[in-house]
Amino acid sequence: MAERASSGGVQSVERVFELLELITAAGGEVMLSELATSTELPLPTIHRLLRTLVAKGYVRQLANRRYVLGPGLIRLGEGASKQLGALVRPQLRTLVDQLGETANMAVLDSDMVLYIAQVPSKHSMRMFTEVGRRAHLHDTGVGKAILAQMKDDSVRAVMARAGMPSATSTSITNVDDLLADLRLIRERGYSIDDGEQ
């Protein structure tokens, strides 16, 4: 019988996803010892889980003994992206037709925005954001639109966890300034990124 995790799920499955997320957070390449330090799991357990991921194509082991994300993850991500994108693409097309500008769909993903679909405008000069890209909430139009739906205390908590790095000279880096911008967004009914990212 499979062991149960504290969340009620299967512990080994949770551990596999923890390893994949750690490899991703490390830039896509890690040593076994780095995973052991981050997870506090025994080396044999990590090694066994990684061997399974390698066998399935979700992780590869390089000649220098480092582990990297494998091509199997691309198939999974592409499948999820197609499914989510298919649901919203008709509405995005309608927006593009009405406004003449690129339309994006993004969702909240661990205190960041994750772009899940895009329909580009017909103009030669247009905005382009990669589907699958993650970005900070405080300096993107879509991120601020999501934050505008939250209570101020929730926004403060998210910003405390995620931080407010400055991407450009016009990035909002102070939570009080962000809250003022969110009040304006709520009043006018839309959000913009004014050269903030």
pLDDT at 80: 81
Q: In the prediction, which pLDDT does 7 show?
A: 64
Domains and CATH numbers, the chain: 11-70 (1.10.10.10), 74-188 (3.30.450.40)
Q: How far apart are CA 16 and CA 5, in angstroms?
A: 12
Confidence (pLDDT) at 2:
43
- What span, in angstroms and rounded, lies between the C-alpha atoms of 59 and 52? 9
Query: What is the reported pLDDT for 189?
Result: 94
Helices 11-25 + 43-56 axis angle, to 10: 80
pLDDT at 112: 94
Percent helix, strand and coil across the chain, each to the nearest 5: 50, 15, 35
Distance between CA atoms of residues 104 and 54, nearest Å: 34
Other C-beta atoms lying within 10 Å of the C-beta of residue 156: 15
Token pair, residue 30, equals 């890690």
pLDDT of residue 6: 60
Q: Which helix (H) or strand (E) segment is 116 a member of?
A: strand 112-119
> Mind listing the pLDDT tens digit for each residue in 76-125?
888 887 888 788 999 999 999 999 988 889 999 989 999 888 999 988 77
Report, as ranges of residue numbers, the positions in the chain whose pLDDT lies below 50: 1-2, 4
Say if residue 36 is exposed, middle or buried (CB neighbours under 10 Å; 0-12, 13-18, 19+).
middle
